[in-house]
Amino acid sequence: MSRLTQIIHAGRKLWHFHGGLHIDDHKDMSLQRPLRDAQIPDRLVIPLHQHIGELPVLKVKIGDRVLKGQLIAEAEQYVSANIHAPSSGTVIEVGEHAISHPSGLKSVCITLETDGKDEWSNELPEPMTDYQNFSTSELGQRIRWAGIVGMGGATCPSSVKLNPGPGKKINTLIVNGAECEPYISCDDSLMQNHADNIIEGIQIVMHMLSAKNCLVGIEDNKPKALQSMQSAVEKSGNNQIEIISIPTIYPSGGEKQLIQILTGKEVPSHGLPADIGIVCHNVGTLEAIYEAVILGRPSISRLVTVTGQGVKEPGNFRVANGTSIANLVAQAGGYTADADRLIQGGPMMGYTLYDDDIPLTKGANCVLVTTAEEIPSNTPAIPCIRCGRCAEACPVELLPQQLYWHARSRDFDKTQDFNLFDCIECGCCSHVCPSHIPLVQYYRYAKTEIWTKEEEKRKSDIARQRHEFRQARLERIEAEKKARLRKKKEDLENKKTSDTKDPKKAAIEAAMKRAAEKKQKMQESGVKPANTEALTTAQQKQIDEADKRRGDR
Amino acid sequence: MQFISKNSPHTFKPNSVQRIMLEVLLALVPGIIAMTWFFGWGTLINIAIASVTAVVAEALVIKLRARPALPVISDFSAVLTAVLLALALPPLAPWWITVLGSAFAIIIVKQLYGGIGYNPFNPAMAAYVFLLISYPTHMTSWLQPSMLSNIELDFVQTLSIIFNGTLPTGLSWDTLSGATPLDEMFTRLDMNQMIEEIRQSALWGDFGGKGWEWVNNWYLLGGIYLLYRKVITWHIPVSVLGSLLVFSGLAYLLDPATHPYPAFHIFTGGIMLGAFFIATDPVSACTTKKGQLIYGASIGAMVFIIRNWGGYPDAVAFAVLLMNMTAPTIDYYTRPRVFGTAGKSDHE
């Protein structure tokens, strides 16, 4: 029952995570044609929302002419990313446009009418070809400038991930080339075509993190990618980088799963890889880092797989940020007559889009168009029979059947008790469910309900606190007012009583009385003031003169 | 262009509850053949009566609940319950016993709790116990296996016995029925006889009772098929049989004269059917792997205890029902360690 099974795969010691699935990968479909550069459309719609974290701040207005690579939205918060113009042209609109989101959510987008010149900005930073001579923070600044986000789909700003914080020593860089989702082959294509750049990117990141070694995990269904990466490593002569063939089993490309496969270590629940001295990056991200550092170019395009039986000419494209799905599919020969479902991402974790007028962003790795024959509509769900196949498939070793039970009955405390938030939503449980229950959907529901509740609780806590503060303030003011009144009243009363006998007057009277008594006593005893007795003649003369002067006046 | 909206994952393994139920029914075929071979047509007739009753009863309840009946009936779970119950009944049980049991299983034990997936007790076993307690005479009149009996009842004769209760001329219940090997063993042990003496009886085959050992072998075959097809995992059957072997083995080692050898326990009575087909019912069993081991081992132990000291000859039904009650609690305390958590689980 130990989930940490060690295995020997392709001559190397690896580890096995719990569960997982062997599924048809359908990757050949999009690998038949060579990697192409997609044409830049007449119109690019560039969402500001392309990463997790805060939105960047607009730097252009309608009518501005922008050049390729020019900064058009700037990250002001720490967890945010710059956005640059993917091509040259004129800003014709800034406003709400549907973005890639399962609910058809709208968000602020910059619409750029391209001029076809694709003219580079002349304000791009200098290439840092000798990156070894630059400090971690200088390189980090460059990566932050380039607006690079995690290109495996998580879209976490890379500069954040490359700054694990003080006290966290990173020993190992793990590079994710697993690409475990069926159909998707953009990372495969990238590794086959640009292995040298990826290796260069790896060396930059290793330099930044002072990492001792780097493990590159690639599923063994990509022999060409394995080979080209291996020869790129040999060419670089860097023996700290190891290209590792891992067994093809979904979801080996999950960050925590890949780390476990390669190192046997578990990222703690609610923790980060940096907690165990590891940073993990996708191959696409590393290529973007290479471009930013060595070429001085921002992240404005990426590789996208267009595939599925609903597309006439599936393949991989280098796509400018902001190209619409409709435009890209048209470049891939268009839809077939029986295209049925449009999915962004893979069949396991991707989400359907209702409409194809949606811009592709930094995190978009795949456009999958399937036919009803290829992916039939799910048969209706029937009750759970607790067969436990989901638990056998779960890579996190949760009990999906119990989570489902509690999520369904809205017992959210219980779902958390059963570690709901460790669920990575990989879809293995739903995939194997004989009752065809959309289990992941229940977990997403439970998670958002809990988040909403927590947010509500936070808000109501704040409201209650404010109310309590206000109440306390009012009470304090009231009390102070009362105290002031009371004091005034007391003062007044004191004054009334002292009018009959003023202490000041009494003191003066007493003093005068004392002086008079003294004088009388002295006269009675015949004593005169000592200072006018026994004067010298000179002194007497002075006095006389003074008296005389007084008399003159 | 516009498209449909669906939730991820988009692909499903071609698997269904219906397929699971059909696989289990298929795995029962060798056992059914063996039962028919040794005990005559009665087994098949019982299966037919029970299945029709179960399907009709289920359809009725679903209609009362104002839901479409076809999707519910077509999952074949009611048929499976009916077949399991029919296999546990004496082959010449009167028809109303079978109808009553099957209807009880579906209406009371399954549908009143909410239907498939919601029943805390195994419907077939609950119905069996209900019948055993209510109609002990009918439920304990077992036929002699064919090799011990020179009477061959043909299909029409069997049908007539089941529906009319009339025996063919010249036959009486005494000549037809006989003690089951388990009955024989423990009745005679109670009479302070030694295993050696009891073994003299014509009832005994190589491991267990004559005929019975073959029925159990063929159930085992079906069970192995279920394992091979990954319809069930090894945890429950292995722990049921393993724990029964360990307990009976220990008793046998302590005193071989008064305790039957372990193989007797494994190849006699309903234990194979119980271990592979009944205890593995996912709805009423434990769902965690560790829990399944505890659950199975407890059933094995319970069977041993009831067989040795209980008032009823066989114990599988009681053992399963008793453990059904504990399954949720066992599940709660045997949760696997979640990835990235240090302890066993957060609440412990």
Contact A388 B340 (CB under 8 A): no
Measured from the Cβ of residue A277, the count of other Cβ atoms closer than 10 Å reads 17
- pLDDT for the residue A533: 65
The alpha helices in chain B, defined as continuous H runs, are 17-39, 42-64, 69-73, 77-88, 95-103, 123-134, 136-140, 155-164, 173-176, 181-190, 195-198, 212-228, 235-254, 262-266, 271-273, 289-309, 316-333
Bridge partners of A45? A111
Contact A434 B15 (CB under 8 A): yes
The minimum CA-CA distance between A205 and chain B, rounded to whole Å, is 26
Chain A residues inside the 8 Å CB shell of B285: 386
Q: How far, CA to CA in Å, does B110 sit from each of A47, B118, B124, B211, B251?
A: 54, 7, 10, 33, 38
Chain A residues inside the 8 Å CB shell of B71: 380, 382
pLDDT reading at A116 higher than 80: yes
The minimum CA-CA distance between B11 and chain A, rounded to whole Å, is 6
- Comparing B156 with A188, which gets the higher pLDDT? A188
Closest among A106, A148, A100, A176 to A350, alpha carbons compared: A100
Residues 6+ apart with CB under 8 A from A262: A14, A15, A174, A215, A217, A244, A246
Contact B11 A431 (CB under 8 A): yes
CA terminus-to-terminus distance, chain A: 125
Q: How far apart are CA B335 and CA A397, in angstroms?
A: 9
In which residue are the tokens 């003093």 written?
A511
Q: How far apart are CA A322 and CA A86, in angstroms?
A: 8
Residues 6+ apart with CB under 8 A from B13: A21, A431, A432
Does A418 lie at the interface with B, CB-CB under 8 angstroms? yes
Q: How far apart are CA B132 and CA B142, in angstroms?
A: 13
Residues 6+ apart with CB under 8 A from A169: A277
- pLDDT for the residue B346: 41
Q: How far apart are CA A148 and CA A286, in angstroms?
A: 9
Does A399 lie at the interface with B, CB-CB under 8 angstroms? yes
In which residue are the tokens 């930094």 written?
A362
Over residues A33-90, the pLDDT tens digits come to 999 999 999 999 999 999 989 999 999 999 999 999 999 999 999 999 999 999 999 9
Considering only residues 433 to 452 of chain A, which have any Cβ-Cβ distance to chain B shorter than 8 Å?
433-436, 438, 440-441
- pLDDT for the residue A552: 67
Over residues B216-266, the pLDDT tens digits come to 999 999 999 999 999 999 999 999 999 999 999 999 999 888 888 888 888
- Number of A–B residue contacts, CB under 8 Å: 173
ipTM of the complex: 0.88
Residue A157, both tokens? 């700003």
Does A27 lie at the interface with B, CB-CB under 8 angstroms? no
Mean pLDDT of chain B, nearest integer = 89
Phi, psi of A212 (to 5 degrees): -80, -35
Sheet strands side by side (includes A106-114): A43-47, A106-114, A89-98, A65-66
As a whole number of angstroms, the longest Cα–Cα distance in chain A is 141
The alpha helices in A39-179, defined as continuous H runs, are 136-145, 158-161
Instruction: State the pairing for strand pair A83-84/A65-66.
Output: unpaired
Whether the model clears a pTM of 0.90, i.e. scores above it, the answer is: no
| Mean pLDDT across B68-91 | 93
Considering only residues 155 to 184 of chain A, which have any Cβ-Cβ distance to chain B shorter than 8 Å?
182
| Mean pLDDT across B281-300 | 95
- pLDDT for the residue A424: 93
Q: How far, CA to CA in Å, does A455 sit from each of A384, A441, A460?
A: 32, 21, 8
Over residues B163-212, the pLDDT tens digits come to 888 787 777 777 777 778 888 888 888 887 887 777 777 777 777 778 88
The minimum CA-CA distance between A419 and chain B, rounded to whole Å, is 7
Closest among A348, A351, A349 to A325, alpha carbons compared: A351
Contact B116 A385 (CB under 8 A): yes
**What is the pLDDT confidence band of residue A519, given thresholds at 50, 70 and 90?**
confident
Q: How far apart are CA A201 and CA A287, in angstroms?
A: 6
Over residues A444-476, the pLDDT tens digits come to 999 999 999 999 999 999 999 999 999 999 999
Chain A residues inside the 8 Å CB shell of B337: 397
Long-range pairs of A234-237 with CB within 8 A, sequence gap ≥ 24: A235/A196, A235/A199, A236/A196, A236/A199, A236/A200, A236/A203
In a mutational test of the B interface, the residue from A370, A374, A377, A419 whose CB has the highest number of chain B CBs within 10 Å is A419
Contact B288 A391 (CB under 8 A): yes
> Could you tell me which chain A residue has the CA closest to the CA of B285?
A386
Measured from the Cβ of residue A77, the count of other Cβ atoms closer than 10 Å reads 12
Mean pLDDT of chain A, nearest integer = 91
Chain B residues inside the 8 Å CB shell of A325: none
Find how far residue B83's CA is from the centre of its chain.
Answer: 9
Contact B340 A422 (CB under 8 A): yes
Chain B residues inside the 8 Å CB shell of A438: 7
Chain A residues inside the 8 Å CB shell of B290: 1
The minimum CA-CA distance between A341 and chain B, rounded to whole Å, is 6
Instruction: State the amino acid at position A298 in one-letter form.
Output: P
Residue B332, both tokens? 């709660």
**What is the pLDDT confidence band of residue B303, given thresholds at 50, 70 and 90?**
very high
Q: How far apart are CA A506 and CA A502, in angstroms?
A: 6
Q: How far, CA to CA in Å, does A308 sit from each of A31, A179, A427?
A: 12, 17, 19
> Does residue A139 contact residue A131 with C-beta atoms inside 8 Å?
yes
Q: Sign of dihedral through CA atoms A102, A104, A105, A111?
A: positive
Over residues A209-245, the pLDDT tens digits come to 999 999 999 999 999 999 999 999 999 999 999 999 9
Question: If DSSP codes are grouped into helix, strand and coil, which group holds residue A128?
Answer: coil
- pLDDT for the residue A484: 92
Question: If DSSP codes are grouped into helix, strand and coil, which group holds residue A449?
Answer: helix
Percent of chain A with pLDDT over 70: 96
Measured from the Cβ of residue A181, the count of other Cβ atoms closer than 10 Å reads 29
Q: How far, CA to CA in Å, does B34 sit from each of B25, B263, B272, B332?
A: 15, 19, 13, 40
Bridge partners of A458? none
Does A342 lie at the interface with B, CB-CB under 8 angstroms? yes
> Could you tell me which chain A residue has the CA closest to the CA of B287?
A388
Does A267 lie at the interface with B, CB-CB under 8 angstroms? yes
The minimum CA-CA distance between B33 and chain A, rounded to whole Å, is 28
Over residues A270-290, the pLDDT tens digits come to 889 999 999 999 999 999 999
Contact A256 B339 (CB under 8 A): yes
Does A421 lie at the interface with B, CB-CB under 8 angstroms? no
Lowest average pLDDT, out of A204-208, A329-333, B153-157, goes to B153-157
Residue ranges with strand state E in A3-58: 5-9, 12-16, 36-37, 43-47, 57-58
Contact B6 A341 (CB under 8 A): yes
- pLDDT for the residue B51: 97
Instruction: State the pairing for strand pair A106-114/A89-98.
Output: antiparallel
Over residues A91-101, the pLDDT tens digits come to 999 999 999 98
